[in-house]
Structure 1
């Protein structure tokens, strides 16, 4: 069996957030990726989120550009991220960075490698620099890694997806892109999503519905988030998809390791939600065939203690609701407003027999037994 795992970072988040100051023990998605014990590109990839600075542009399997602020505000660039991920699964790029960057040029020059001098074109005001061509592109190297080390052939037998925020929505988008692709349609997909938030005007069908290729969907949702424009998506799934959704006290970033009292920045105060979500992300991925190191391996006693601490700190989580990442808060009538598929509903309305457990987003954090559906 060949399993490829794809980690989608959230908006403005990157693979380097394992050491980000806002996360006391590393941001969850980047940390999980760093703990994968397989070979990058053959077994796994991690993709920076929209608005993160385009640090991976030279390595993508599809051409992208720097969207700047529009990446942060509107998610621009995530279509290219999804195309890149699909191409990685296929082991074939549709674009290559053939020219050297300035950093690469300077590194080769400093090492005494005989390469042509930089070419300068245009006037002093509109000057452009050509640093020469690469003898081998990053994409060609990565294609070779996939061909050599992906077990059982290039096309994997299973794909696992993990994502937070717009990275969670990217999981939905990729699963749907695979279902529409004859070469990838029959690959079973399993998704672990953490508070998937598309942003304003981004509730199109490919972001809020999932097809029959998704065999299991596990989602954790931030109960105390109230930021305007941060409505999360509980996707519409088909009858054959095992769907488990859980509420978690805290804000959008609390669930991926931000332990600040306001859910944004500050010292470690409320770490328990992030620990619980990380534990079950690890459990699901390992159950789905993703090899990981440095896992938490929480016991039922640990989970019970963390849950009781959360209940004890109920007033602190309630206080989070007055904060907003976007300055404005939602007129929520006492609870978060979410998108069930493409339909807006109150947080507590998302429950029913299609979910395991049926209590859905009304599940008590003290109900440790409810997690047995995913452990």
Structure 2
């Protein structure tokens, strides 16, 4: 039996953001992925977010393009990310990077490996270089890791998904793609989403609705975000899906571990860890759920109820500082709905506090008091 966990980074974020300068103790998705103590590719993968620079392009199990700014603005590239994740689940690539890069060629040459000399093609003005083919592709190496280290067959017995921002929406997209795949639709899926935001024009059904293969859905939403175009999604879940949603103080990045006073780039060294409490709480609860779902993690926070109360108490004491975030925007414009953040309940726009009801645990939904840590008992 193999539990596979897939970590989806947010827009512009990547696998190496556990050391990003804007996050005092690491961006949450890349940090949790780095703390997975299992075998990469066989038991876990981390997928860079749209607009993150295509650092993983040569390693993906499906071919992608360089989308640049369109990845940041419109999420271009996340369909390929989902297909890559599907292929990883099945342990079979549909594309391989067969040609060597210049860096790989130079490294092999320097090591004295007998490979063909670089070939020059075209005129001097349109000169191109062919560095030859890889003898073994990255994809084939990773396929072999999957074949060797997945227990009792290549197809995993459980899939956990965790993502922030468009990475959270990517979790929705992948779960729905699995539900439509005859080889994968039987696999139980668990999702932990952190302020899932699709961006303008990206509220299609596969991003705002989940099927019955999702057994548990947990999400935290940034109460103090007001950026226009940052409407978060509370998905429509299937009957029988255990659904828990929670508000958290701070902006979109605050929940992912950005602890600056205004939820953006730090203004000075002291600003880097000005408001650490929301990120600590979300990370602790994400770790709690992942461990319950069979994920081996190292360096976990293991907060006690007393420590949780101290953190939530500090948030309440800093309420005035969180209210200052309401005038900030990642897109230069802000928007309100009855003085609150505008959110998408399925595909319907509603005010933040309208999202509650008996389909959720706790039933208070996004009106749950931050001081009520008993609301987290469903996550343990």
What range is the shorter-chain TM-score in? Answer: over 0.9
- Give the alignment partner of residue 278 of structure 1, picking from 274, 278, 283: 283
- Note if contact 1:226-1:332 (Cα within 8 Å) is conserved in structure 2: no
- Tell me which residue corresponds to 2:115: 115
- Tell me which residue corresponds to 2:331: 326
Q: CA deviation at 1:125?
A: 3.3
Mapped to 2, the partners of 1:17 and 1:300 lie a distance apart of: 29
The alignment partner of 2:16 has SS state of helix
The alignment partner of 1:274 has SS state of helix
TM-score (norm. length: structure 2): 0.98
- Tell me which residue corresponds to 1:363: 368
- Tell me which residue corresponds to 2:30: 30
- Note if contact 1:191-1:218 (Cα within 8 Å) is conserved in structure 2: yes
Mapped to 2, the partners of 1:182 and 1:159 lie a distance apart of: 15
The alignment partner of 2:17 has SS state of helix
- Tell me which residue corresponds to 2:350: 345
The alignment partner of 1:58 has SS state of helix
Mapped to 2, the partners of 1:229 and 1:340 lie a distance apart of: 15
- Note if contact 2:337-2:350 (Cα within 8 Å) is conserved in structure 1: no
- Tell me which residue corresponds to 1:259: 259
Question: 1:332-369 CA deviation, whole Å, 9 max, x = no partner?
Answer: 33100000000000000000000000000000000010
- Note if contact 1:166-1:196 (Cα within 8 Å) is conserved in structure 2: yes
The alignment partner of 1:5 has SS state of strand
Q: CA deviation at 1:152?
A: 1.4
- Tell me which residue corresponds to 1:202: 202
- Tell me which residue corresponds to 1:374: 379
- Tell me which residue corresponds to 1:97: 97
- Tell me which residue corresponds to 1:183: 183
Q: CA deviation at 1:312?
A: 0.1
Question: 1:8-44 CA deviation, whole Å, 9 max, x = no partner?
Answer: 0000000100100000000000000000000000000
The alignment partner of 2:281 has SS state of helix
- Note if contact 2:8-2:164 (Cα within 8 Å) is conserved in structure 1: yes
Q: CA deviation at 1:265?
A: 1.5
Mapped to 2, the partners of 1:292 and 1:330 lie a distance apart of: 39
Q: How does 1:205-354 map to 2 (within 5 A)?
A: 205-266=205-266, 267=271, 268-354=273-359
Mapped to 1, the partners of 2:129 and 2:11 lie a distance apart of: 31
Mapped to 2, the partners of 1:151 and 1:371 lie a distance apart of: 33
Q: CA deviation at 1:181?
A: 0.3
TM-score (norm. length: structure 1): 0.99
The alignment partner of 1:161 has SS state of strand
Q: CA deviation at 1:127?
A: 2.4
Q: How does 1:43-192 map to 2 (within 5 A)?
A: 43-192=43-192
In terms of mean alpha carbon deviation, does 100-109 or 279-288 score higher?
100-109
- Note if contact 1:356-1:373 (Cα within 8 Å) is conserved in structure 2: yes
Mapped to 2, the partners of 1:287 and 1:35 lie a distance apart of: 15
- Note if contact 1:51-1:75 (Cα within 8 Å) is conserved in structure 2: yes
